[in-house]
Structures are given as C-alpha cells and as structure tokens.
Amino acid sequence: MAALKGRDLLSLADLSADEVQELLQLAAQLKSGQINLRCNKVLGLLFYKASTRTRVSFSVAMYQLGGQVMDLNPDVTQVSRGEPVQDTARVLDRYLDILAIRTFEQQQLETFAQYTKIPVINALTDLEHPCQILADLLTIQECFGKLAGLTLTYLGDGNNVAHSLLLGCALVGMNVRIATPPEFEPNPAIVEQAQAIARSQTEVVVTHDAVATARGANVLYTDVWASMGQEAEATSRIPVFQPYQINQHLLSIANPKAIVLHCLPAHRGEEITNGVMEGFQSRVWDQAENRLHAQKALLVSLLGAD
C-alpha cells in the first residue's frame, strides 16, 4: 500500500473506500500467514489514557514485524512538566519512525501531526477511535464474507466509537444505525460527514429507538455508557441508558445470524448482559484479537515493509 506510506491516520475519513478494503485484505493475509512482512522500525506509544488492547496489540504487532516499541508514558517524560506539544513533537520526530497517540482532545493529536514528518496514528481520542473500527470491520468481514449491504446497529453513547463506526461503515457500504438516549447523540458534524460519504447508497440513521434499530440488524454493537473521563457520571447514566442494553430480547429481533460486538472493557450487566457476551453469537474475543492484525497492516502500510 504505497499510497499510505508516510501518511497520518487521524480519522477514518483520512482513508478512501479502496484504502480501507486494501488494509482489511492485508490484515487478513497477515493473520492467515499468507504473507510475512518485516518492518524494522521504531514505534513510539504516547498514551495519556489507560489502555490494555491498544497498548498490547500495537506493541505485539511491532515486535512481530521485527521492529521496536518505546512506551512514552507522559508521567516519565517532560510532557508531564508542561513541555509544549509542538516541542515534544519535533523532538520525537527526530528519534522515531512512527508515533501512536492516545489522548483526550483531537486537537492535540492534530498538533502533533502538524509538527512531525513521521506518520502519526490516532490510537484513540475523545472524537474518534479509527484503529478499533478497522478491527471491527475485519471481524465482520470474517463472519459474513462481505461488508457491503450489511446493517450494523450501535446502541449506547454517541461517543468516539460511534463516530468512527459511522465513518467506517459508510466507507465500506454498510448500513449503520445509531441509537442513543436523547442528548447523547453523536457529533452532528460526524453524522453529516458519514452521510456525505455514504450518499444514497447506504443508510446512515441516528435515532432514540433501540428496538427499531436492532430489528433485522446483522451486527449489534455497544460500548460502555461512560467513557474515560466521565466516571463521575457513570452511576447517574445507568437508568438513562438501560433501554439500550444489548440483551436477549434485542438480540432476538435482530437477524437470526446476527453477531454481537463490544470494543471492551465491558461492564457486564449494564450495556450488555453476561449471557449475550458469553453467548454463541458473541464475537467479542475475535474482535479483540483482530486489533493486532488490523494494526499490523496499518503499521506496514504507513511505514513500508523491508
């Protein structure tokens, strides 16, 4: 994927539909062992937020490619003492080959990208989570053999995962339905962007009706009801979000062959029941594994293989 070499991935909207498909194809080939690529480079992980899957999957991906990883914990760098973002960015640009950033504000990520020449990857911001959705699309494609024409229903908070699902589904020709409580809808600008990408070819719907969105869906997807930084609101949100829980009733009105996804970590008994998460229609663990393969494909594409 020479077209991606040297580029940033700050949003899924940075990719074309063809580029998403090529990334997914490469991820599948790497996962199956059909191809074995090497990328002897250095990846920096600058994470301002806690992480399990993102940190471990990026690290393992880079090690398996033959590269190295530097964990740039803000607490042990000058970032924690107030060094300006642009200064840190220009220094890291001289040391690293690629940088993945997990932070709060999208603007901070964009500032890093502005002051570096190396590729910068959005490993999660409050606005988007593009790497997660690449793994999600890979998982759905494995289950159904295709993406175009399928319907994904997301239930819960209109957060960063919902934003990237809107963009990702629109890019690959999937219908996407987002059901949230009132006042928890996704960013209208992201919705408009997804609708513009989809045009009239696929359905992009944002509603408050959980039952209507679940009916006939091929994929039911959820996330925690309170994201990192919103922990103080977690308890008060439970009764508001309860109608959007993925449970056996909602699953029963989806497509009989529907799968269930959750980007993790999960609060079992809140956004998803334990029975559904452990049920035969759950693909949560395949989804988590695919973070490794999708990100390996992304690293190879942005850096090039040796």
Are 168 and 271 part of one and the same domain?
A: yes
Are 61 and 90 part of one and the same domain?
A: yes
Give per-residue pLDDT as tens, 157-202.
999 999 999 999 999 999 999 999 999 999 999 999 999 999 888 9
Q: Choose, from 39, 143, 169, 263, the residue flagged as catalytic.
A: 263
d(CA 51, CA 37): 26
- Would you state the pLDDT for residue 76? 81
Q: Establish whether 129 is a catalytic residue.
A: yes
Are 63 and 186 part of one and the same domain?
A: no
* pTM of the entire predicted model: 0.96
User: How are strands ordered across the β-sheet holding 68-71?
Assistant: 68-71, 42-47, 98-102, 120-122
C-alpha 55, offset from chain centre = 13
Q: Choose, from 132, 141, 245, 287, the residue flagged as catalytic.
A: 132
Q: Establish whether 102 is a catalytic residue.
A: yes
pLDDT at 217 over 90: yes
- Would you state the pLDDT for residue 3? 85
Q: What is the mean pLDDT of residues 4-30?
A: 97
Are 138 and 283 part of one and the same domain?
A: yes
Q: Choose, from 237, 262, 283, 291, the residue flagged as catalytic.
A: 291
Number of neighbours of residue 36 by Cβ within 10 angstroms: 10
Give per-residue pLDDT as tens, 242-282.
999 999 999 999 999 999 999 999 999 999 999 999 999 99
Q: What is the mean pLDDT of residues 106-117?
A: 98
Are 210 and 256 part of one and the same domain?
A: yes
pLDDT at 228 over 80: no
The contacts of residue 126 (CB under 8 Å, 6+ apart) are 104, 105, 106, 159, 160, 227, 229
> What stretches of the chain show up as alpha helix (H) in DSSP?
17-32, 53-64, 85-95, 106-114, 130-144, 160-172, 188-198, 210-214, 234-241, 248-253, 274-277, 284-303
Are 124 and 54 part of one and the same domain?
A: yes
CATH number of residue 257's parent domain: 3.40.50.1370
pLDDT at 231 over 90: no
More confident residue, 78 or 176: 176
Q: Establish whether 223 is a catalytic residue.
A: yes
Are 107 and 138 part of one and the same domain?
A: no
More confident residue, 270 or 77: 270
d(CA 160, CA 190): 10
Q: Establish whether 169 is a catalytic residue.
A: no
Parent domain of 176: 132-287
Q: Are 176 and 152 in contact (CB under 8 A)?
A: yes
- Of the listed ranges 18-27, 52-61, 80-89, the least confidently predicted one is 80-89
pLDDT at 287 over 80: yes
pLDDT at 1 over 70: no
Q: Choose, from 157, 169, 223, 295, the residue flagged as catalytic.
A: 223
- Would you state the pLDDT for residue 87? 96
The contacts of residue 167 (CB under 8 Å, 6+ apart) are 11, 12, 13, 128, 130, 133, 190, 193, 194, 197
- Would you state the pLDDT for residue 266? 97
Q: Choose, from 53, 55, 97, 102, the residue flagged as catalytic.
A: 102
Are 89 and 152 part of one and the same domain?
A: no
Are 148 and 97 part of one and the same domain?
A: no
Are 71 and 218 part of one and the same domain?
A: no
Q: What is the mean pLDDT of residues 1-23?
A: 94
pLDDT band at 79; cut points 50, 70, 90: confident
Q: Establish whether 163 is a catalytic residue.
A: no
Are 259 and 296 part of one and the same domain?
A: no
- Would you state the pLDDT for residue 233? 84
Number of domains in the chain: 2
pLDDT at 128 over 80: yes
Are 47 and 68 part of one and the same domain?
A: yes
- Would you state the pLDDT for residue 229? 73
Q: Choose, from 53, 55, 129, 262, the residue flagged as catalytic.
A: 129
d(CA 244, CA 56): 30
Supply the DSSP symbol for 15: S
- Would you state the pLDDT for residue 263? 97
